[in-house]
């Protein structure tokens, strides 16, 4: 048994004390994992724009003080009661939203009252068997999912669970049992969607971890936890980009470039990358863009430029920035009759203005959360793609930094200088 097992661990973590303030690296206490939870020693954590948006007032339900970060890879230090899918020393991804079983209901023949289906961001249907309900306190879990996915549920579940509760526990920064595992200077710290990767240790619900193949380097694996599964997954699940498609991608950060790689793998004929930072264009072309445009180089709005370039509009447009203006431009650039616009960016400060006349001929606008993926299937598949040399994660990493440099990672992101910064923790010894 490890010396630390069952005891609080004192370690370093970047604490977001207040909305809009830089993170502060502090000594924090990470309590042992509870039932159905896993304590992880973090090895690497990618820095996503959503982290920046979270501690800068962009999330309605943000709670402080907290430890943010959600794109992590690490080694399991210890497990709580009932955990079966991972063991101490297993290498794992953290997984923000995919807190569910991957079993298919009708294949397994579960009774309908245990089936929950999703209409929005899951491509699939969930099944929760009684054992899962018992071991993961699914009452909390289901409320989380009702909130996040506009779930349609059977009458039985509708009566059993309170679907009207506005905030669920994970979204409000606490674990599924309603408490937190993190403390600093005598204060409880909130978790970030049950993940919190910007600390040397973190406690995550078992349903928020996925095993990583041993041969996979963890500093690259962490990117699969959000950026790559979000971008690449959107091209597989939210829409199915076909060979020969014409696509445009707004924002060539980690998420946008992952969309580019997904479109290339699907055989898209034209992949037009759009960014105000021309420094991104060489990498974008290496990863699959056939052309790159800087809207600031054009006198006309970029949607008009694209319409001319593509003879009437694009089959698919992806917005990976989070601004209403670029979302509208992506919509306007899609083909009038069949174009689909996928909204991935988060944090827009105003609602979209879409003229309904422009939808009538058949255009579609869709949202995509973490690529609409079944993480337990997509994450291992993306590792295989990387290990086979078909997915270039290395090019996405422009900066490797220590935890002490975390605010610098946000500075280079704000300046548009990074693709992905990865925070590297001390080499794991547990
Ligand atoms: N939907 C999801 O599940 C999900 C998951 C992860 C991230 N996100 C969101 O996706 C977006 C991208 O994330 P990221 O980590 O790749 O961000 P990033 O900051 O690394 O990249 C954004 C890119 O957009 C470019 N940009 C900024 N303003 C622009 C403009 N007006 N026109 C053209 N280009 C512009 C920047 O130069 C940068 O290259 C963010 O909004 C993030 O919150 C969503
Ligand atoms: Zn993210």
Residues 58-90: tens digit of each pLDDT: 888 889 999 999 999 999 999 999 999 999 999
Q: Using CA atoms, how far apart are residues 227 and 208, in angstroms rounded to an integer?
A: 16
Nearest CA to ligand 1 atom 2: 369
pLDDT at 366 over 90: yes
| Ligand at shortest distance from the CA of 367 | 1
Q: In which band, very low, low, confident or very high, does the pLDDT at 110 lie, cut at 50, 70 and 90?
A: very low
Mean pLDDT of 104-126: 31
pLDDT at 209 over 50: yes
pLDDT at 19 over 50: yes
375 CA → ligand 1 middle, Å: 21
- Which residues in 111-257 belong to E strands, given as ranges? 115-117, 125-127, 152-153, 182-184, 187-189, 201-205, 209-211, 246-250
Q: Which atom of ligand 1 is nearest to the CA of 257?
A: 16
**Residue 300 pLDDT:** 98
Q: In this structure, what are the phi and psi dihedrals at residue 400, rounded to the nearest 5 degrees?
A: -115, 130
302 CA → ligand 1 middle, Å: 17
295 CA → ligand 1 middle, Å: 15
105 CA → ligand 2 middle, Å: 29
Share of the chain above pLDDT 70, in %: 81
Termini Cα distance of the chain: 11
Provide the mean pLDDT of the chain. Answer: 85
Q: Under a CB-based contact definition with an 8 Å cutoff, are residues 204 and 38 in contact? A: yes
Neighbours of ion ligand 2 (CB under 5 A): 48, 50, 226
pLDDT at 4 over 70: yes
More confident residue, 249 or 426: 249
pLDDT at 263 over 60: yes
Burial of 221 (0-12, 13-18, 19+ CB in 10 A): buried
**Residue 173 pLDDT:** 85
249 CA → ligand 1 middle, Å: 10
pLDDT at 1 over 80: no
Q: Which atom of ligand 1 is nearest to the CA of 52?
A: 43
| Ligand at shortest distance from the CA of 420 | 1
Mean pLDDT of 23-37: 97
**Residue 98 pLDDT:** 47
| Ligand at shortest distance from the CA of 71 | 2
Q: Under a CB-based contact definition with an 8 Å cutoff, are residues 41 and 174 in contact? A: no
Helix, coil or strand: residue 36 = coil
pLDDT digits 0-9 by tens, 167-199: 355 567 888 788 899 999 999 999 998 899 999
**Residue 96 pLDDT:** 74
DSSP 13: E
- Least confident range from 69-83, 95-109, 318-332: namely 95-109
Nearest CA to ligand 1 atom 26: 251
pLDDT at 120 over 80: no
Quickly list DSSP for 340-409. EEEE-----SS-----GGGTTTT-EEEE-SGGG--HHHHHHHHHHHHHTT-S--GGGEEEEE-GGGHHHH
| Ligand at shortest distance from the CA of 94 | 2
Mean pLDDT of 224-228: 96
Q: In which band, very low, low, confident or very high, does the pLDDT at 2 lie, cut at 50, 70 and 90?
A: confident
Best of 58, 321, 366, 375 for a ligand 1 pocket test (most atoms within 8 Å of beta carbon) = 321
Number of helical H runs and strand E runs in the chain = 13, 20
Q: In which band, very low, low, confident or very high, does the pLDDT at 97 lie, cut at 50, 70 and 90?
A: low
Ligand 1 site, CB within 6 A: 48-50, 53, 226-227, 230, 250-256, 274-277, 280, 295, 320-323, 326, 344-347, 368-370, 413, 416
85-113 burial: b if 16+ Cβ within 10 Å, else e: ebebebbbbbbbbbbbbebebeeeebeee
122 CA → ligand 1 middle, Å: 22
97 CA → ligand 2 middle, Å: 11
């Amino acid at each position: 048994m490890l010396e630390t097992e069952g005891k609080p661990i004192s370690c370093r973590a970047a604490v977001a004390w207040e909305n809009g303030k830089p993170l502060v690296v502090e000594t924090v206490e990470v309590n042992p994992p509870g039932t159905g939870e896993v304590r992880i020693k973090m090895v690497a954590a990618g820095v996503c724009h959503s982290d920046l948006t979270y501690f800068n007032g962009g999330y309605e339900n943000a709670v402080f003080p907290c430890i943010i970060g959600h794109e992590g890879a690490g080694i399991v230090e210890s497990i709580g009661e009932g955990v079966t899918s991972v063991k101490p020393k297993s290498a794992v991804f953290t997984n923000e939203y995919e807190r569910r079983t991957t079993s298919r209901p009708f294949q397994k023949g579960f009774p309908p009252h245990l089936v929950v289906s999703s209409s929005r961001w899951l491509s699939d249907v969930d099944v929760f068997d009684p054992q899962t309900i018992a071991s993961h306190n699914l009452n909390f879990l289901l409320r989380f999912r009702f909130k996040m996915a506009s779930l349609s549920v059977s009458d039985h579940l509708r009566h059993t669970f309170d679907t009207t509760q506005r905030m669920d526990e994970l979204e409000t920064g606490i674990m599924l049992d309603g408490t937190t595992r993190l403390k600093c200077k005598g204060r409880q710290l909130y978790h970030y969607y049950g993940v919190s990767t910007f600390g040397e240790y973190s406690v995550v619900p078992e349903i928020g971890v996925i095993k990583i193949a041993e041969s996979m380097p963890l500093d690259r694996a962490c990117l699969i936890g959000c950026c790559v599964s979000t971008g690449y997954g959107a091209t597989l699940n939210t829409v199915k980009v076909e060979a020969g498609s014409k696509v445009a991608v707004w924002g060539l950060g980690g998420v946008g470039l992952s969309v580019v790689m997904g479109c290339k793998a699907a055989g898209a004929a034209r992949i037009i990358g759009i960014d105000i930072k021309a420094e991104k264009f060489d990498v974008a072309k290496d990863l699959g863009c056939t052309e790159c445009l800087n809207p600031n180089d054009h006198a006309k709005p970029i949607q008009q430029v694209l319409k001319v370039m593509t003879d009437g509009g694009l089959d698919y447009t992806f917005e990976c920035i989070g601004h209403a203006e670029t979302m509208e431009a992506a919509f306007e650039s899609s083909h009038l009759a069949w174009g689909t616009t996928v909204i991935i960016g988060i944090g827009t400060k105003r609602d979209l203005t879409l003229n309904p006349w422009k939808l009538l001929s058949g255009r579609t606008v869709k949202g995509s959360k973490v690529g609409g993926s079944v993480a337990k299937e997509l994450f291992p598949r993306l590792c295989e793609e990387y290990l086979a040399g078909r997915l270039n994660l290395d090019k996405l990493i422009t900066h490797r930094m220590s935890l002490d440099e975390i605010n610098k990672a946000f500075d280079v992101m704000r300046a548009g200088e990074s693709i992905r910064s990865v925070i590297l923790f001390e080499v794991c010894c547990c």
